[in-house]
Amino acid sequence: MAVYRFRKEELEGHLNKNALWAIVYGDMMSYLMILFLIMLSNQLAKSVDNIDPVERTLIEVQRVFGGKPDPRLVEKAQQKDRELIIGTAFQQGVESGKFGVAASVIVSEKRILLSLGEGVLFASGKAELKDSAVPVFDSVAKDMQNLANEIRVEGHTDNVPIRGGGYKSNWELSMARAYAVIKQLESAGVDPKRISGVGYGEYRPIGDNKTAEGRAKNRRIEISLLRGE
């Protein structure tokens, strides 16, 4: 009976040592796997930064478990990156004063909107671009040339009635100004198939037409880069 106890204790000790070794080995492999996933995630983040978190997660999961990610997801991520680069370029142009003192940029899910005040673009009541407007639109065209996104040009005015000149209403003036901008973008290299234009006249104000400051805000051109779904 004593021999049996000795062999049993020896066997239990041997099994305990093996179990401990297996636990240590399993923990080590788990830590290595976690380290690998962290390194992989960091590498993927460099190529898919600034995209939707859900899309980034899908790309990373596909990379880890399924090889190459869905090309459609990758292209969508790259497209968003290019759009954000343009938004940044527009913002830098606004901050530097390149687009005039009344310029602004709004970046949303649906579009990147560049608003340009009348002062740097047109003389009062006119639709012919000033010489100072040409480099502005050349710069805008250069930023947008390499994208296939649709571009929408909108003309806006204040509500002061037109007296004299070649236009009977603010509506006509706003449409003529939008067309002038479209032609300049086209001449600067933007594919005309991507561009559409509209004139809203005085009917979409962003400022109070009762004040000079508000009327100045309303006399503007808006260029929208429509973003992909």
Q: What does the pLDDT look like over 110-168, one tens digit per residue?
A: 999 999 999 999 999 999 999 999 999 999 999 998 888 999 999 999 999 998 778 99
* Residues of the chain with confidence (pLDDT) below 50: 1-4, 6, 11, 15, 40-41, 43-51, 54, 59
Q: Residue 56: what pLDDT?
A: 55
Q: Residue 87: what pLDDT?
A: 92
Q: Residue 139: what pLDDT?
A: 94
User: Would you list the domain boundaries of the chain?
Assistant: 2-70, 73-226
Task: Name the CA dihedral angle for 154, 158, 162, 166, rounded to a multiple of 10 degrees.
Answer: -20
Instruction: Order the strands of the 195-201 sheet from edge to edge.
Output: 104-107, 111-117, 220-226, 151-156, 195-201
Q: Residue 108: what pLDDT?
A: 93
Q: pTM for the whole thing? A: 0.69
Fold of 73-226: 60s Ribosomal Protein L30; Chain: A; (3.30.1330)
